[in-house]
Amino acid sequence: MTTLRAPVPRQALPHGSGSFRRRAAGLACRGLVVLASLAVAVAASAQAPAAERSADPGQAITLPLFGEAGSPFDGLFRPAEPSPAPARFAVGMPGESPALTAYLRESVAAFASSSAQDDPRRACPGCPLRRPLRAVGGAAMVNVVFNLVNRLREENDEFKVSFSSWWENLKHGFEWDYNSFEINQFGHPYQGGMYFNAGRANGLSFWESAPLAAFGSATWEYFAEKNHASINDFVTTTMGGIALGEMFHRAGWMVRDSSVSESRLKKELLAMALDPVTGINRFITGEASRVSENPSDLKPTSTVSDIEVGVQWNGQPNERAVNSTGEPFLGLNLGYNDIYSSPYKVPFDAFTVTLRLGGGSSISEGLVRGRLYGRFRSAAGQQGRPTEFLVVQGYDFQKNGIFEYGGQSVLAGVSHLFRMSDSAQLLVFGVGGPIVLGAIRSPQVTEAPAEGGDPEEAHLKRTYDFGPGAQISGGAALRVGGFPLARLRYTSFYLRTISSVEGEAGKHYAQVLRLDVLAPLWRNFRFGVSGDYINRATYYPTTTDVHQWLPQLRVYLARVSK
């Protein structure tokens, strides 16, 4: 969707006068500017002390461009400095009507309150203004930008859409596409996050922004490219976009700080790199320089950030991992609040992220678990919140050369925190639920995807089957002195193929067991050893069934946090 998609056959689902107007518009705009400038001056006079309002009746009226607020970019490149107070309307000005002046002052005060911190359109003093229509327009603009960029990048006319291509897509309906694993399982969810954040950047809540991910995906599939609409794109863009969008939105607010007036351009730019839509919107509206409280719901009370650098060995099917060549990797484990102990307020107020770069692929692993709902239950007289019922949204991406799996899931379960001593805690959890749509590498595909070559063979880029399913997962984590010492996790999932890349549609089963042990070295540095054991089986109606075990081993140096 965001990158090259060759026009190849797919698996289809059942069908279901101007110059005068410009001059008039220009005059109207100039008139609005003059009225707005007069309104700002009247608002300033309404706030002036009585001594100032008794100035010389012949004093001139000054209409500064930005008034006392200064430039909207003050505070980015330099500390904001107050501008000299503009001249005021004099009470004794000849021809002035006291009644009219009072009316204008009241009207302008209401107009000026749109930028005040107590504006009713803001959910909190530091929250963006609530603009639903602008949010919808922002999601549509994401499609316009991506379409134009792809027009410049691609030599074919896939993105040169027209009314005829729109009508053809609407008549044809949904089908399954053959994009590569990275595009379908990461590229599409990332773009979906931009649709979602068009809502978050314009004051919409989590649930109010979620439909924008579906809106953006559907309009892209039908109207922004000539390829027929893809059902797998629609699902992964919508659900993956919600998970990645909220995660990046909150990560951006971890970086920026709107409560300071000194130079903060670097933080705003870094936050924009994490959440481009919100960042661009803040610069356009002037929010990037407005001093206000930080949104309390978007600032975590605690974070965990573990960085790992090491080597990973990916064993070939049914072979030992140590027999393979080691691959360097960089890993990140991020905890935004504690998903198992922090009080629940709003969706994704706590989430975890596991990211691994390298280790057999540019991105070999990306896992997000965001809490949608949580409720704690404590025994009578027991301190703390040891037991929690929770619902989480899951995003999975795994690709390391021997195993490919991606999925969008919603899981519910229970966690319990055992306080073994004053310094040791053991967390156990178990969750399960549906996989709305998953993708897993087909064991019948034995060759690597084709690079370049004949566009008619572009379907070879796809190596995986699509299907819904179910997942259960459980695990335990031991922390001593607040630092991780050992982690154990077990995951089992089932996918029923409804779109096979090659051969028959099979039933996929997989079990993944992972163990991490971290030995203290110095301060918060640890020496870590991690092992994965993947056991998978695929059953076909007539073709021979396939059974595989796939081991992985990692050795790394970690910098951990409490």
% of the chain beyond a pLDDT of 90: 54
123-127, 321-325, 357-361, 398-402, range with greatest mean pLDDT: 357-361
* Mean pLDDT along residues 496-500: 93
Length of the chain: 562
- 93 has pLDDT over 70: no
Distance of CA 545 to the CA centre of its chain: 39
**DSSP-assigned states of every residue in 370-437:** EEEEEEEE--TT--S--EEEEEEEEEEEEESSS-EEEEEEEEEEEEEEEE-SSSEEEEEEEEEEEEEE
pLDDT tens sequence across 273-332: 999 999 999 999 988 888 888 888 888 988 999 999 999 999 888 888 878 888 999 999
pLDDT tens sequence across 158-185: 888 899 999 999 999 899 988 889 999 9
Query: CA–CA separation, 49 vs 53, rounded Å?
Result: 7
Give rounded-to-5 percent helix, strand, coil for the chain.
Answer: 30, 30, 35
How much is the pLDDT for 462?
Answer: 86
How much is the pLDDT for 115?
Answer: 47
Confidence band of 124 (pLDDT split at 50, 70, 90): confident
How much is the pLDDT for 104?
Answer: 55
Confidence band of 402 (pLDDT split at 50, 70, 90): confident
Alpha helices in 256-345 (DSSP H): 265-274, 276-285
Q: What is the DSSP letter of 214?
A: H
* Mean pLDDT along residues 236-253: 96
* Mean pLDDT along residues 77-88: 43
How much is the pLDDT for 37?
Answer: 43
How much is the pLDDT for 77?
Answer: 42
The model's pTM: 0.77
Confidence band of 477 (pLDDT split at 50, 70, 90): very high
pLDDT tens sequence across 351-377: 999 999 999 889 999 999 999 999 998
* Mean pLDDT along residues 204-223: 96
* Mean pLDDT along residues 116-125: 73
* Mean pLDDT along residues 479-488: 92
Out of 4-13, 90-99, 443-452, 529-538, least confident range: 4-13
Query: How close are the terminal C-alpha atoms of the chain, in Å?
Result: 40
Top pLDDT among 43 and 405 is at 405
Q: What is the mean pLDDT of the chain?
A: 80
- 386 has pLDDT over 90: no
Confidence band of 448 (pLDDT split at 50, 70, 90): low
How much is the pLDDT for 378?
Answer: 67
Q: What is the DSSP letter of 187?
A: I
Where b means 16+ CB within 10 Å and e means fewer, 292-313 reads: eebbebbebeeebebebebebb
Distance of CA 133 to the CA centre of its chain: 20
Query: CA–CA separation, 353 vs 395, rounded Å?
Result: 10
pLDDT tens sequence across 65-80: 333 344 444 444 444 4
Strand partners, 499: 466
pLDDT tens sequence across 187-203: 999 999 999 999 999 99
Which tokens is 216 given? Answer: 């953006």
- 444 has pLDDT over 60: yes
% of the chain beyond a pLDDT of 70: 74
Contacts of 379 (CB under 8 A, 6+ apart): 386
* Mean pLDDT along residues 460-481: 91
